[in-house]
Structure 1
Amino acid sequence: MPTLQLQVTNNSVQDRLLLRVSTQDSEEYRIYFTRRYLRELWPHLTAMLAGHLANTAAPVTSVDTSEPGEQMSFEQPFREDNVNYPLGKEPLLASEAFLRENGEGAALLTMAEGRERSFKLKLTAGILQVLCSMLRAASEKADWNLALDYHTAVSQSTHPGKSLLH
């Protein structure tokens, strides 16, 4: 499922960030991030950028998603028309994450709601840069006071394929 658009907004009433992922098939996936979830996930995202995806990272003004003719752009508004919600309209409340390498220049982030719903997001360096930038900006807008820098170290005890969050 190629990613077409990403959006991260602050839901101040529920004190959560809402990640919306739109695909070229007019499907939209919604995932809630709590403050704790983002705080725990952030070091792993930045480690993936600095590690496995480091050689493919470049400053982003638009993102090539490696699908012919498909790009994400910051100029386009988020699509809202004729959308299907494969996981339902109620956002998945992410409580677990799995981040792993997925071939050269790619990674796979699985966000899960315990034993309920889950969503897999295919990442390139460009998409991960955009996602991190959006999460960081939304966190600042939410006034969560998280130190979301790009040099956060990840504990050596984390093993590939192991759940990052519980």
Structure 2
Amino acid sequence: MSIHQLSVSHDERQDRLLWRLNTLDGQEFQFWLTRRMLTRLWPAMNQSLLKWHASAPGLAASDTISLQMLRDFKRDNLMASADFKTPFASGAKEKPLGQEPLLVTDAHLSMDPQGGMGLLLEQKIGEHCKSCQLNLSVDLVEGLLLLTQQALQSADWALPTTEGVASEAASPAEVTPPTAQSYKH
């Protein structure tokens, strides 16, 4: 699946964030994220990106602050070329997960050494499990995190920002290859 558009919004009534992703072939995937889930997933996604940058070949950054500066620089370049003027296109031809957004109760995160993030989002209710595997490029993850950060400002959930995550990340010398991580609601 090739992601074409991203949208993140806060629904005040539900007090949840809604992630919406449109693909080039006209599919829309929707996910509800609660504060509790995002409290676990948000720092892990940010730290995984820092670790990915630390393991990139030819990297000259030798400490966490330098890594965060490198990541900020790359994110700024990405945002300069991103299209924030085109509204998110609703009304996709197909919604493979159904008309209602998937309420994420479990998330499994993995980093691909080639520059992508695997994100398995699951909704487990009783014996029933519905899931969606996303394979996102680092640029798409950065975009998703930026939009999430903007939505968090209106949610007023007081979650740590990316700056707060940098101080908790391991230094490049301590970094091991990114491994799969799981987060449950």
Among candidates 162, 165, 184, match of residue 149 of structure 1: 162
Instruction: Quote how far apart the aligned CAs of 1:10 are.
Output: 0.8
Instruction: Quote how far apart the aligned CAs of 1:32 are.
Output: 0.2
Contact 2:37-2:105 at 8 Å conserved across structures: yes
SS at match of 1:61: helix
Kindly, what percent of the aligned residue pairs are identical?
30
Instruction: Quote how far apart the aligned CAs of 1:79 are.
Output: 1.3
Contact 2:17-2:32 at 8 Å conserved across structures: yes
Instruction: Indicate yes or no: 2:140 matched with 1:127.
Output: yes
Aligned position for 2:35: 35
Aligned position for 2:131: 118
Whose helix proportion is higher, 1 or 2? 2
SS at match of 1:43: helix
Gaps of 5+ in 2: 57-69
Distance change in 2, residues 1:78/1:62 (3 Å): farther
Instruction: Indicate yes or no: 2:175 matched with 1:165.
Output: no
Deviations 1:119-149 (A, max 9, x none): 2222222111111111111111011122223
CA distance in 2, matches of 1:144, 1:123: 25
With normalisation by structure 1, the TM-score equals 0.82
Aligned position for 1:61: 79
Q: Which piece of structure 1 moves more, 50-59 or 3-12?
A: 50-59
Instruction: Indicate yes or no: 2:29 matched with 1:10.
Output: no
CA distance in 1, matches of 2:136, 2:92: 25
With normalisation by structure 2, the TM-score equals 0.75
Q: Which amino acid aligns with 2:123?
A: E
CA distance in 1, matches of 2:122, 2:12: 22
SS at match of 1:163: strand
Aligned residue pairs, count:
156
Instruction: Quote how far apart the aligned CAs of 1:86 are.
Output: 0.5
Deviations 1:50-85 (A, max 9, x none): 01145495131367xxxxxxxx63232111244311
Aligned position for 2:62: none
SS at match of 2:52: coil
Contact 2:108-2:121 at 8 Å conserved across structures: yes
Among candidates 84, 88, 103, match of residue 94 of structure 2: 84
Instruction: Quote how far apart the aligned CAs of 1:88 are.
Output: 0.4
Choose 1 or 2 for highest CA Rg. 2
Query: What is the root-mean-square deviation of aligned Cα atoms in Å?
Result: 2.4
